Amino acid sequence: MAKRAEPILAERSGDAANAAPESLSSPTHLSLAQWAEKVLEPAGQSPARHHREMLSRLSDLAEAGPDRLMLLLPPGHGKSTYASVLFPAWFLARHPQASIIAASHTADLAEHFARKVRDTLRDHGDILGLNLLREDRAAARWRTQPGGEYFACGIRGPITGRRADLVLIDDPVKSHTEADSPTARNAIWNWYRSDLATRLKPGGRIVLVMTRWHQDDLGGRLIDSDPSWNVLRLPAIAEADDPLQRPLGAALWPEWENEAGLERKRHVMGSRIWNALFQQSPTPDTESLFATTRIPVLDIAPGIRREIRAWDLAATAAAEGRDPDWTVGLKLAVTTDNHYLITDVVRIRAGPAEVADTIRAVASQDGTAVTIALPQDPGQAGKQQVAWLSQRLAGFRVRASPETGAKLTRANLPAAAIETGSLGIIRAPWNRALLDELRDFPNGHKDDQVDALSRAFAQLALTTTQPGRFNLPILAR
């Protein structure tokens, strides 16, 4: 049985110079798989089946195979250990005078990988007949005695003056917030095209190692724009035409995490995150995020343990020819059996004074046990607005914080709770407007209730133990 291969990486997670390097065998003639086995053997570890497939494709790229390789795997499945630590060390032994540029989403992560490659060569380089240059061992940039070079940088970091026989990109996307931002995606794409790809020598190779986040992430754009890429996509749970010929539903690395463990993760995170990060199949933004048919509607509220009223603020009254945003106050509860329950929604279109009066009146009805969550707009005006509202709400528990991340990213928490059956609503006249807005998001005309729900979850759900699932056969819709 293949054992885990994680210790190498800490969690985190004149003309000759311009020519492509000749394929020169190391003194030991070790294959990449043999090199990996020898390095891992002292720890009692060995490559798993999917690791060997990765190693095979990396080896082909290093020798005479396709010069563009994309490895798409779920987080925590050892892809960086093999592709970003063991492979570049072996590549420098095969191509002694090669130059490598390795990039990751931050300079810190890139330097982390660089240090691991350097330390692996320091400890095991004699196996390959390759030694580091003694006087040049900085973590982010170092050289080998035969003249090989390794340079690490963050995405969008400066690489002017550098040239590469191998470009290795590992984890170009930092977070869902970044993945959901068109500005951030364009910045990564432009850096890749104008800065990084132009550094490649004639005949050079590129390896992209990543977990998918978004249909339009770097991997998605490259797949759509360049059919020459050799793509190895390995989902956490096997699908049809699996590259490893696994049976449907089989785990990718059962020795590390079996089907039951993966199913628990899927249950918590919901389809959108699961499909992207673990199945490597991100869904388009045009699809509705909220599975509203899975929201039970209760006639009687169960026992309530905690409640929060989150507000999304607007300050424009409705008038003929205008369709302003709503000010929304959504009350979210955690029940005694750890379900989430929307117990009330207040919506108004009014000017600042009436909005403030409404928030105060609703707070009086809710009582002091219900926390009030207010958004704080950036800048001095936002601070003044929160200070003014807080004065009006003296005696109540008020939390104010800025919105962070894209709307779609913030909405992932309640979307996952809906999908897993752990969020319900109390039957009331406001149900239809809420459900319609959830169903249409992110493509609907309004998203004020979604914003209020996301804020409520951000303040409440992260301090609550993992919710259970509503008993749908008992609770009527």
- List beta partners, residue 237: 251
Measured distance CA(415)–CA(427) in Å, rounded = 20
The string over 84-113, giving b where at least 16 C-beta atoms fall within 10 Å of a residue's C-beta and e elsewhere, is bbbbbbbbbbbbbbbbbbbbbbbbebbbbb
Measured distance CA(44)–CA(52) in Å, rounded = 17
Measured distance CA(220)–CA(275) in Å, rounded = 14
- Neighbour order of strands in the sheet with 327-335: 297-298, 423-426, 340-348, 327-335, 304-312, 371-375, 398-401
DSSP assignment letter at 1: -
DSSP assignment letter at 402: -
Measured distance CA(353)–CA(2) in Å, rounded = 66
Measured distance CA(26)–CA(95) in Å, rounded = 9
DSSP assignment letter at 403: -
232 in Cβ contact with 53 (< 8 Å): yes
DSSP assignment letter at 237: B
44 in Cβ contact with 128 (< 8 Å): no
**Main-chain dihedrals φ then ψ at residue 447, nearest 5 degrees:** -140, 25
Tell me how far the alpha carbon of residue 139 is from its chain's centroid.
Answer: 26
Domain ranges of the chain: 16-278, 292-463
3 in Cβ contact with 41 (< 8 Å): no
Measured distance CA(39)–CA(37) in Å, rounded = 6
> Do the domains 292-463 and 16-278 match in fold?
no
Locate tokens 């009331």: which residue? 428
Residue 33 CB neighbours (<10 A): 20
Q: Which of 331, 324, 385, 376 is nearest to 349 (CA)?
A: 324
Measured distance CA(357)–CA(354) in Å, rounded = 5
Longest dimension (CA), the chain: 82
Q: What is the pTM of this model?
A: 0.66
State both tokens at 52.
């060997």
Q: What is the C-alpha end-to-end distance of the chain, expressed in Å? A: 48
Query: In a 3-state reduction of DSSP, which class is residue 232?
Result: strand
Residue 403 CB neighbours (<10 A): 16
**Main-chain dihedrals φ then ψ at residue 312, nearest 5 degrees:** -115, 120
Locate tokens 């609550």: which residue? 464
229 in Cβ contact with 205 (< 8 Å): no
Measured distance CA(463)–CA(339) in Å, rounded = 13
State both tokens at 164.
């590469």
Four-way CATH pick for 16-278: 1.10.760.10, 3.60.20.40, 3.40.47.10, 3.40.50.300: 3.40.50.300
Query: In a 3-state reduction of DSSP, which class is residue 38?
Result: helix
Q: Which of 159, 221, 225, 153 is nearest to 186 (CA)?
A: 221
CATH topology of domain 292-463: Nucleotidyltransferase; domain 5 (3.30.420)
DSSP symbols for 290-327: --GGG--EESS---EEEEEEEEE-------TT--PPPE
Measured distance CA(393)–CA(376) in Å, rounded = 15
Ordered mean pLDDT values, 10 residues apiece, the chain (477 residues): 42 36 51 95 93 97 90 96 96 95 94 94 91 79 92 86 92 87 90 90 95 93 91 94 93 95 84 88 74 89 92 78 85 92 95 92 95 85 85 91 82 88 92 89 86 92 51 33
Query: In a 3-state reduction of DSSP, which class is residue 136?
Result: strand
170 in Cβ contact with 106 (< 8 Å): no
Locate tokens 């800490």: which residue? 10
Task: Tell how strand 141-144 and strand 340-348 pair up.
Answer: unpaired
